Structure 1
Amino acid sequence: MGMKGRIALSAVVGVVVIGVVSANSGSDEGDGGKGTSASAEHDFGDKGGDGGARTGDTEKAAARSRAAFGGDGSYQVGKDVKPGTYRTRGNSDGMCYWERAKNASGDMDSLLANDNVTGSSYVTVKASDKLFKSEGCHDWETVDPKAEGKPSAAGFKGDGGMLRVGVDIAPGTYRSAGNTDDQCYWERDKDALHGMESILANDNVTGTAVVTIGAHDAYFKTAGCKDWKHAG
């Protein structure tokens, strides 16, 4: 079965809510989707005018120079891909699919974690993994574990994908309003292994979601939600 023919392991988990802070509820002060692996950042570059096009080309060239490996292929861990944490950005419409596998059999039993991605995704590849597969994704770049950023605390996109706390988004309490039919999924994570044990809290939301992202959370995942605004 082709990779895109598989349903992300996380798609099943999306209906399992762990330690939830959800619609019209209070916030979770702890540390730490639909379509997540145990459980997607859009490229919002300047698209206007020739200057924007040139800027976009420059950004794409810079991204290629940082790439650790391409977004399409099967890679042997330790030979083609070193253990570590990697990021892909700017993916759209869930067409990016990746998986970590314990062997190259292609069987469902070989899957350790997988996901269909809109926006960005971070994945930690372990030394004990045997294979990493990627299809339809933008190139993967190595993540500096010590990297720091100065992200705005005003808010972030509701379909941004998996975001790194302290680098892509700031800790704090955020609100997403106007969600319908449980299409909004959020998740607080302690790592990028995408296992059930990675999830600190999650929820599928109709209506308003209020979530506190802790300073010690590693990542926050958001898919299909209205944009998140700082809630004070």
Structure 2
Amino acid sequence: MGIKVKLGLGAVVGIVVIGAVSANGSNNGDSGSGDNGKDTSAAQHESGKKADTKKGGTADKAAKKVAFEGDGDFQVGSDIKPGTYRTTGNTDGMCYWARAKDASGEMDSLIANDNVSGTSYVTVKASDKLFQTKDCEDWEAVDAKASGSPATRMKGDGGMYRVGADIAPGTYKSSGNADDSCYWERDKDASHSMNSIVANNNVSGTAVVTIGAGDAYFKTAGCGDWKKTG
């Protein structure tokens, strides 16, 4: 069982250790879609995905059903409602978010945080006081039940995929990984707590993982692209 290092707000993500450690440095705390057989990412799953940055026009934001923007501090209950949200299309790990129990800005206020490439899903709880987001694409609300036409391939650096909506459950293979740079994680929810992790690993060479139908999310970072083999 690995130990998770707590990051300061806006900090760069630390290296993941094999064991119950979240990818990309999520901190300890409470707990798209494509045609089958085609390369996809949760970013491609987005209907009406804008070609420009999050600073695009009103029509782009309307198409995305934006819940709140990708930069700012939001008070839970007044600025944003509790629920699960998604940001997609982020590059180079520059997107940063944090759930906090107060607005002190101190380390002890952090519930969970992450640096994101690709897509991230986050469940903001009613007990959270503040949600911080910086350099992320706009956030949209996610329905409680997964739906869609899940794909059988996914990008190895695509971030988080929702099982049953973005990707189908099953056994997947990723090849050509070097220096333990490939990290995968099976999750039972999007709280990004230690308790949400079902299993995880750092991999060199070929990675094989079975994503269960009972898994809620699959996270992948720094891996070769994944293909369903069974």
TM-score, normalised via structure 1 length: 0.81
Provide the C-alpha distance between the structure 1 equivalents of 2:9 and 2:70, rounded to a whole number of angstroms: 13
Provide the C-alpha distance between the structure 2 equivalents of 1:93 and 1:55, rounded to a whole number of angstroms: 18
1:180 to 178, 181, 184: 178
Contact 1:181-1:206 within 8 A present in 2 as well: yes
Q: Give the letter aligned to residue 172 of structure 1.
A: G
- State the partner residue of 2:128: 129
Correspondence 1:207 to 2:196: no
Provide the C-alpha distance between the structure 2 equivalents of 1:222 and 1:188, rounded to a whole number of angstroms: 9
Q: Give the letter aligned to residue 184 of structure 2.
A: W
Contact 2:42-2:166 within 8 A present in 1 as well: no
- State the partner residue of 1:96: 95
Q: Secondary structure at the match of 2:143?
A: coil
Cα displacement (A) at 1:18: 4.0
Cα displacement (A) at 1:150: 1.1
User: Relative to 1, partners in 2 of residues 1:63 and 1:143: Cα closer, same or farther, differing over 3 Å?
Assistant: farther
Residues 159-208 of structure 1, C-alpha deviations (whole Å, 9 max, x = no match): 01011000011101000011001110000000000000000000011111
Q: Give the letter aligned to residue 162 of structure 1.
A: M
Q: Give the letter aligned to residue 109 of structure 1.
A: D
Provide the C-alpha distance between the structure 1 equivalents of 2:50 and 2:191, rounded to a whole number of angstroms: 33
Moved over 3 A (4+): 41-45, 54-57, 60-63
Matches within 5 A, 1:5-16: 6-8=11-13, 11=14, 14-16=16-18
User: Relative to 1, partners in 2 of residues 1:89 and 1:55: Cα closer, same or farther, differing over 3 Å?
Assistant: closer
Matches within 5 A, 1:118-197: 118-153=117-152, 155-197=153-195
Cα displacement (A) at 1:55: 7.5
Unaligned 5+ residue runs, structure 2?
1-6, 29-40
Residues 22-45 of structure 1, C-alpha deviations (whole Å, 9 max, x = no match): xxxxxxxxxxx5414148x57459
Cα displacement (A) at 1:17: 1.5
Q: Secondary structure at the match of 2:108?
A: helix
Q: Secondary structure at the match of 1:109?
A: helix
Q: Secondary structure at the match of 2:121?
A: strand
Bigger RCO (CA 8 Å, 6+ sep): 1
Aligned-residue sequence identity (percent) comes to: 63
Q: Secondary structure at the match of 2:61?
A: helix
Q: Greater helix share, 1 or 2?
A: 1
TM-score, normalised via structure 2 length: 0.81
Contact 2:23-2:185 within 8 A present in 1 as well: no
Cα displacement (A) at 1:229: 1.0
Unaligned 5+ residue runs, structure 1?
20-32, 46-53
- State the partner residue of 2:107: 108
Q: Secondary structure at the match of 1:35?
A: helix
Provide the C-alpha distance between the structure 1 equivalents of 2:118 and 2:60, rounded to a whole number of angstroms: 15
Q: Give the letter aligned to residue 191 of structure 2.
A: L
